[in-house]
Amino acid sequence: MPRYFLLCATALAFSAACGAKAPGKHPNVVLILVDQLRADAADTWMPKTKALSDRGVRFEEMRAVAPWTYPSVISMVSGLYPQQHGADGHMNGKVMSTFSKSVPLLPRFLHDAGYHTAGFITNPFLHEWNPFHEAFDEYQSSEFINSQGNNRGHGNTVWTDRMWSDTVNPAVLEHFSNREYTTPEFTYVHYIDVHGRRAGDVRWDSAPFSGSYRAACEYVDERIIELYEFFHARYRGDLIFLVTSDHGENFEDDELVGYGKRFRQKKATVHDFNLRIPCYVLPGRSVPNRVVKGPTANLDITPTLLEWTGLDVPDVLSGMSLLKAVEGAPYDGTERPIYARMSAMGRHNDCLILDGKKYLRHFDPRTGKVGARHTFDLELDRRETTDLGPNFQPHEARFEEAAGDRGYALPATFENPGESLLKALDELGYGGGEDGG
């Protein structure tokens, strides 16, 4: 029997035995993030996960608050916007920040409440050059990738054949098979399999699936189900198993329609092909069958999980708990302003989503001033192809307010990246390369 399947069988047997022991009043949490997974791709090419989500909770209008991994993930686990937590790039050039250790993070909240916290990471933006790993009891990233450059205290970036989910899943199962289930547990798994699928890129030669975005989605679908079945057995259904992404991807003519590539760029604009992401909660003991249709943002995930696990939601968080909507309370969301921005690699644009419209600004990096303004009707024009003009009234003031720090911003340290980091960023699609980022 292959080692992977033997480990699965052993882990499932162990989890079934341990599952009889209740660790306490807090439900277990498993957060699965599939890097660069569009909402429509998840609905179409991940049929098993989608079918389970139809019996759980689906957030139909979930958006990332940034179109690239670093700021988006930290927003997801902090409940703060990028201009508040500081994990970002800068419009003035190719610099990146190291965010403050004072940024509140979901795994730290849960650890303080008695959870065992574990992270399994395959994206270099979340390697140990920033403080993200310090919020976890167990953090595995070097097993799968090396980091992003000498200036971050590590060697050159290396994309290895251990970055795929067929390596990540055994690491997850092995960790928990060797751990007795005596306290509630939080697990974060970051898959990179569907990130930047481009035919002919030698980086993908070792992948255990064919060279297409669809094949990667279908492969990860199976890996998600493996983890769901394992954790569902381990916890006897006492879990919140959430599947989401950090940003989307451009498909077909996404960059060409409307006003075209001047303003519609992969990884560099806040159009919905970059922002719309899936967010599913798969069936569990405390998970109802619900569809939340109003606009939501991934910075809502942390306050929602905090309230769902019975913990207090700090007032400083900009995200809102969606638990009442999950439980069936009416939620429209159209009157709630949602802000997103791209500020990195010499680019800066942002948007406000409010009352069914998107108001979008592009900044001139040479002057720092707004160079173009656009409005789109998200209800009538889902692909944002028809610009309704630069008039943001009656929401001009609300846009400026949303773009601010809301009186709570933590310091960040910016560094000029070395050549190895620049090369890595280019491979990820942030420097004008051909990898979708």
Q: What integer pLDDT is reported at residue 197 of this predicted model?
A: 56
Edge-to-edge strands, sheet with 93-99: 89-90, 93-99, 412-415
Q: How far apart are CA 43 and CA 379, in angstroms?
A: 20
* Nearest one of 317, 345, 312 to 437, comparing CA atoms: 345
pLDDT at 5 over 80: no
pLDDT-derived band at 351, boundaries 50, 70, 90: very high
Q: What integer pLDDT is reported at residue 15 of this predicted model?
A: 44
Edge-to-edge strands, sheet with 357-363: 338-344, 347-354, 357-363, 370-377
Q: What confidence tens digit (pLDDT) does each residue in 57-102 have?
A: 999 999 999 999 999 999 999 999 999 998 888 766 667 778 999 9
Q: What confidence tens digit (pLDDT) does each residue in 388-427 have?
A: 999 999 999 999 999 999 999 888 887 765 565 566 556 6
Q: Is the peptide bond before 27 cis (omega within 30 degrees of 0)?
A: no
CA distances from 377 to 311, 350, 374 (A): 37, 16, 10
* Nearest one of 221, 225, 164 to 197, comparing CA atoms: 164
Q: What integer pLDDT is reported at residue 167 of this predicted model?
A: 86
In single-letter form, the type of residue at position 40 comes to D
| Level-2 CATH architecture, domain 3-428 | 3-Layer(aba) Sandwich (3.40)
Break the chain down into helix, strand, coil percent, rounded to 5.
Answer: 30, 20, 45
pLDDT-derived band at 163, boundaries 50, 70, 90: confident
* Nearest one of 184, 196, 372 to 270, comparing CA atoms: 372
In contact, 370 and 350? CB cutoff 8 Å: no
- What residues does each domain of the chain span? 3-428
Q: What integer pLDDT is reported at residue 365 of this predicted model?
A: 80
Lowest mean pLDDT, pick from 107-116, 137-146, 197-206: 197-206
pLDDT at 386 over 80: yes
* Nearest one of 286, 318, 287 to 301, comparing CA atoms: 318
What residues have CB less than 8 Å from 387, skipping those under 6 apart? 258, 259, 374, 375, 376
